Structure 1
Amino acid sequence: MSRFDDFMKSDAGVRARLRRRAGRRVHILVENVEPRSKKMHREEQQKFQSAVAEQLSMVNRSTFKGGLALRLDLVTTRHDAPQAHTIAKNLLDLLSVRGPGVDWPKRHLLYKDDSQIQALSVICRHGEKEPLIIVEAKPFSAMLDDLELAAHAVREAEMGSDEWWEDDREREWIDSYREHVRNEAENRQRLGDDVYNGYLTMLRFYSQRALLRRSAVTAPMLGSMYGRPRGFLNVVGKEFWSGFVTQSKLRLQIGELPIAKGSSEAFKRMVADEIAAFKERWDWLISPLVIPVALQVIIRPNPSTPTAVLHDLDNIVRDYLIPGIVPSFGTVSDLRWTIDFDDLEKRNPDIAAAWPDPLPPRGTRAGVTRYEAWRLPAVPDEPGFVSVALVADVDGEGDLMSEVDKRIRAWSQHGAHRHWYL
């Protein structure tokens, strides 16, 4: 083995590659532009695109030519703010084709077409004092390398930790909830209605969190589905985890995306049928939802899908998933909508009085706190799938892209060894 190979597999070599990937990442921050849907005024569109062009020029970054991972972090202020997925549709279009009056030498800004986006994450907070749009983008190849390093960091962190025991303890909440409801008459007589109902609310909260945390795909699982780490270390992992995800009863399994003309309505019926089946399994625990949830979508196209009809990730979420999921499950766009402020005022008036701006605008209530979608490569002779998780979003832990960054930062600060996997 050469000295160069030795260096590349050392801590210093891995960090050098990490710095190189970080240099390919784009951060764009646009202040004083209200995130809007297609109703955004032309002046605001131009202001947004000009800010994007200016910041791309500052870092000497040209238009992305290949696949990319994209994250949108949105903050709205208006009382009539639209839902996040309608804002995202508008901004994704504005990040592509340059409009008139924008000082930029190319026809396209950040990327040429939505189909380049292989991983998309959208988060939105409503009812704030100042508007904000943050765009983060990086080549998808760099995203996969980061995902692989983060997965290794997770495995190292789990060695000697008690995370598995904590998972077991969390599952005990579900057993306690089931037992509390099963013996309702006895428990009401013993505890009284107020105590019984208060304890029931607490059990439902922790049980829903425990259940819907388990539905999420983790960084190591996702990395394996992309074939990382490459080589003999992932001979079994790729298909194992894809099978695990598509068979999980904790996720909505919707089948293949429509390819043929006129098949969209059939796919929408499949979404509705799977939502009904999921509710039949879990309504006893998740109805009503008392925790905020995010959507995590894993998509693998059918290998015979023509490039011309390959669905954009945002279209899948916006057109097929959110319209059925949000009303069916009663999901809300903000943690604050899950707080009973009338009850809080009775029990803790000082906290209720001190709570700043208790609720976002009422029109923004229905929704999810965030959504993310990842497109896996098609597998020859294997069917495609769409697998959706309602993920507990109580603690603000963030999406998988944020998790990857967090794990890499922790690894970088504490160091690690045995990087022969990269």
Structure 2
Amino acid sequence: MYGLLFGHPKSGDNMTNIRLKSLLMILLMCCAALAGCLDSDDDDDDDTTDDTSVTDNGYTYVSNVENHRALMQDLCDIKDAASSTGGYDFATAKTIYADGKNAQKDSGVYRTLGGFASAADKNHEYDNYYGANGSIGEHIMAAMDGTGDFENTSNTVRYQGIAKLTVNMGMVGYTIHELNAAIAKAEAGNWGTDDAQHAWDEGWAFFHGPTENYGCSPAKVMEKRAADFNTADADGNAATFLATRTAMNDGLTALQNEDMQGVVDARDEVLKNLVIVYSQAVLKYTSKMDSNDTAEKYQAEGYAFWKAIEAYAGPYMHDGCYNMAVGHKVMMMGEIDATTCDAFVFTPDEEGGTTGTCTNTVTEATSPDATTAEECDGYKSQYYMDNYAATLMNNVLDLTDADQLGTSYDVAPWLQPVWDHYGITSSDIGSMS
């Protein structure tokens, strides 16, 4: 090796020989270290062919995702460290999140939730919606550090943020990323078990994980909310979980058959059921914010569950038309553009009358507040309010605003356009017991 790299030294050049050998050793050590540092959360270099017969709760993997499944234990350990029984050890929780603990790769480095959550160009909508790369990580780190949305909040609130955001924003984001990655690989013609099917397997690994860590998974949330909203079958299986598992199996079969539409339909069904379960969670915890003792805890839980779907719900929530002439009120209009706020027409109750109805000619909605021509004329495009209902939701779930506590909120009307968009029915949501 020495001769190939440097040539053979002449007789008498012993000192040069020693120096060059030392330089070679340093160079080789640096290369080895660099190889480890360059490892990342990119799954292309993972072993995808061994140990492919593993089944987690009705889904059988066709590729090796042992390392991916192991990440769920990190979620359990983060939760334990950050809890009151763990002494609110946020520093340890942050270390596990950032450096990893259980999902060691063949290269020796660890897969970490922090590595994914802080990365740019992932296949989900969170960064587009929040306008920042690594937006999932920004939310989680705010809870870890007590900054941003968690500035000056209690240990209880920070724990709820850490425990709920890591699972329901972090792992859900990871799941969505992998399903979309599978579609992208299939679109490129890479349908196999080491490409698209492997990415699809990873989606289930991050959503469900191994049975022993099921309690720390997004799948477990479906079980809990189904019990709250009476949407479980006689055996306690959540309707959302059963639909998600069926979609995941159908999507895998579609990949094996190179059926692109089948894969897309399966991905969309998974997303629909994620919107259902986190809608249920938001409905539950915003309604419990009137608690005398635990309102801030419920608000923090509602916040974290809302962040799991805000990027997929916010764009379809009510926009608003503001009207100063009716006491500075805003009429929720569904998903509209600004010009719709100009399209209100007044119709008097009788010819020459001064009172009547104010109807929007685009949506055919009638204003509950404007009853005169002057009031109806108060709706203008310059007073259009984009994502108005999402803003209301974020106001209710503002963890730094104690004035939001002490009230039970019914946010179902704010979410209704979202459910309409995804084809979610009232029976899908259920009724809270």
Q: Shorter-chain TM-score: what band?
A: under 0.3
Bigger share in strand: 1
Bigger share in helix: 2
With the length of structure 2 as denominator, give the TM-score of the two structures. 0.24
With the length of structure 1 as denominator, give the TM-score of the two structures. 0.25
- Higher relative contact order structure (alpha carbons within 8 Å, sequence separation ≥ 6): 1
Structure with greater Cα Rg: 2
